[in-house]
């Protein structure tokens, strides 16, 4: 299929998806917010009549007992709990099988995911298996294949970036089959998002910066796409404003409670925006180099965001100008404002010591460029409602711009 025919098909597909998704019920997780709010989940369990949660977290967070404020309170109240502390980045079918085994054997009736996207994906996968004990995870991959309510899920982010606490998605890996796939289903949206800023106080600065830029990328890509609703626009705008007002402070002063809380809210609202309005070419390019070289997702997004926004050209000027107005960036025309907004992103990266190239142990090899571009092109099309569909040749050119 030629590029022009591809574009026509993609735009038609996106219109059909937009209409279909608009008819579905999109649950928004209830927020539990504030310093020390993790502890309050114990009382919430009692209110909901829940008796035995399975806490899902990763090995490092398990080792430092990140969940201690909650488990200490549950011990005080006499609430039993179980802990699965072996979630890994890109959680595997084996992780989920082990969590599911523990859930059933221990008589659990709800899930509490504490950590980043990996812990939440593992918990979502476990929940999907609980809802569908006679089906495999592979049978639930793709769009709207879970189809049943999962157990009550509390999502407790320890970074401000992935937005997994509100999304419909779980990313699952089968290492034996070298298969990495998505489950996308509205039933996977967590029921509660616990935004406790104290859990992010001691993040390394580079994690604060790159996860924060991940949040910004979610919000910007959602806003400039063509699948927005009134609500997704509101959420994207709120997230962009919160990032510009708080990320640098959170980076420079990790224990600033207001900045940390505001960045969690930014991540939450950006997640609400992109889980409904989708992301775009930045994410597709980032996913490809993440898969090939292990480039951290937030770092890849941070470097690629200004590059892709410039490549969109005039197709994105109007909406980028609106974002410039939102954060007080000046310009005489939409083009000037758009370019000034892109420059502001680059300046924010620079202030947080994020470079404009990807290299070192993550060096992008020339011989991989065609495969990388194809991977990104295939991810983008037909699903992502981007301002401008870029060819594989153009995508190779963007990778060359960030090669070290």
CATH of 30-200, one of 3.10.580.10, 3.40.630.10, 3.40.50.1970, 3.40.640.10: 3.40.50.1970
Q: 21-30, 242-251, 298-307 — which is least confidently predicted?
A: 21-30
| Confidence tier at 292 by pLDDT (50, 70, 90) | confident
Q: pTM for the whole thing?
A: 0.91
| Rg of the Cα atoms in the chain | 21
Q: What is the tens place of the pLDDT at every residue in 347-383? A: 999 999 999 999 999 999 999 999 999 999 998 998 8
- Strand ranges for 127-224 from DSSP E: 142-143, 153-157, 169-174, 179-184, 192-195
- Pair 293, 367: CB distance under 8 Å: no
Supply the pLDDT for residue 139.
95
Strand order in the sheet with 30-33: 30-33, 192-195, 153-157, 110-115, 53-58, 82-87
Residue 2 has pLDDT above 90, yes or no: no
Supply the pLDDT for residue 18.
55
Q: What is the tens place of the pLDDT at every residue in 80-137? A: 999 999 998 878 999 999 999 999 999 999 999 999 989 999 999 999 999 999 999 9
Supply the pLDDT for residue 4.
60
Residue 5 has pLDDT above 70, yes or no: no
Residue 169 has pLDDT above 70, yes or no: yes
- Angle at the Cα of 162 from the Cα atoms of 148 and 41, rounded to 5 degrees: 65
Whole-angstrom CA distances from 278 to 120, 129, 180, 359 are 19, 25, 19, 28
| Confidence tier at 26 by pLDDT (50, 70, 90) | confident
Structure tokens at 133: 């004990």
| Confidence tier at 294 by pLDDT (50, 70, 90) | confident
Q: Which whole number is the average pLDDT over 251-261?
A: 98
Domain-by-domain residue ranges, the chain? 30-200, 202-402
Q: What is the tens place of the pLDDT at every residue in 135-154? A: 999 999 988 999 999 999 99
Q: What's the longest Cα–Cα distance across the chain?
A: 65
Query: What does the H/E/C string look like for 82-129?
Result: EEEEEECCCCEHHHHHHHHHHHHHCCCCEEEEEECHHHHHHHHHHHHH
- Pair 197, 264: CB distance under 8 Å: yes
Supply the pLDDT for residue 94.
95
Q: What is the tens place of the pLDDT at every residue in 210-232? A: 999 999 999 999 999 999 999 99
Percent of the chain with pLDDT over 90: 83
- Angle at the Cα of 208 from the Cα atoms of 203 and 212, rounded to 5 degrees: 150
Per DSSP bridges, beta strands 30-33 and 82-87 are unpaired
Residue 178 has pLDDT above 70, yes or no: no
- Would you list the DSSP string of 341-401? HHHHHHHHHHHTT--S-B-GGGPPPGGGHHHHHHHHHHHHTTT---SSPPPHHHHHHHHHH
Q: Which whole number is the average pLDDT over 283-296?
A: 90
CATH topology of domain 202-402: Dehydroquinate synthase-like, alpha domain (1.20.1090)
């Amino acid at each position: 299929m030629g590029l022009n025919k591809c574009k026509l098909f993609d735009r038609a597909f996106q219109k059909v998806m937009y209409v279909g998704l608009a008819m579905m019920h999109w649950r928004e997780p209830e927020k539990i917010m504030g310093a020390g709010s993790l502890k309050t989940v114990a009382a919430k369990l009692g209110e909901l009549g829940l008796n035995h949660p399975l806490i899902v977290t990763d090995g490092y967070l398990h080792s430092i007992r990140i969940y201690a404020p909650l488990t200490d309170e549950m011990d005080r109240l006499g609430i039993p709990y179980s802990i699965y502390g072996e979630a890994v980045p890109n959680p595997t079918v084996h992780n989920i099988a082990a969590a599911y085994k523990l859930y059933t054997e221990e008589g659990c009736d709800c899930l509490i995911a504490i950590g980043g996207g990996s812990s939440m994906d593992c918990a979502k996968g476990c929940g999907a298996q609980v809802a569908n004990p006679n089906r495999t995870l592979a049978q639930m991959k793709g769009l709207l294949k879970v189809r049943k309510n999962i157990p009550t899920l509390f999502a407790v982010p320890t970074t401000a970036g992935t937005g997994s606490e509100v999304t419909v998605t779980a990313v699952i890996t089968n290492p034996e089959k070298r298969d990495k796939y998505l489950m996308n289903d509205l039933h996977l949206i967590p029921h509660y998002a616990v935004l406790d800023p104290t859990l992010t106080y001691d993040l390394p600065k580079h994690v604060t910066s790159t996860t924060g830029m991940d949040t910004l990328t979610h919000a910007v890509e959602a806003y400039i796409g063509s699948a927005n609703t009134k609500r997704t626009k509101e959420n994207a705008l709120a997230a962009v404003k919160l990032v510009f007002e708080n990320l640098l402070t959170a980076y420079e002063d990790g224990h600033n409670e207001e900045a940390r809380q505001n960045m969690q809210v930014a991540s939450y609202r950006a997640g609400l925006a992109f889980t409904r309005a989708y992301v775009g070419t930045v994410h597709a390019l980032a996913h490809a180099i993440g898969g090939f070289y292990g480039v951290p997702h937030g770092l890849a997004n941070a470097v690629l965001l200004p590059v892709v926004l410039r490549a969109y050209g005039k197709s994105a000027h109007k909406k980028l100008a609106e974002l410039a107005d939102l954060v007080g960036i000046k310009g005489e025309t939409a083009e000037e404002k758009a370019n000034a907004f892109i420059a502001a992103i680059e300046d924010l990266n620079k202030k947080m010591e994020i470079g404009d190239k990807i290299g070192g142990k993550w060096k992008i090899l020339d011989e991989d460029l065609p495969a990388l571009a194809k991977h990104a092109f295939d991810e983008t099309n037909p699903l992502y409602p981007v301002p401008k569909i870029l060819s594989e040749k153009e995508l190779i050119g963007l990778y060359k711009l960030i090669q070290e």
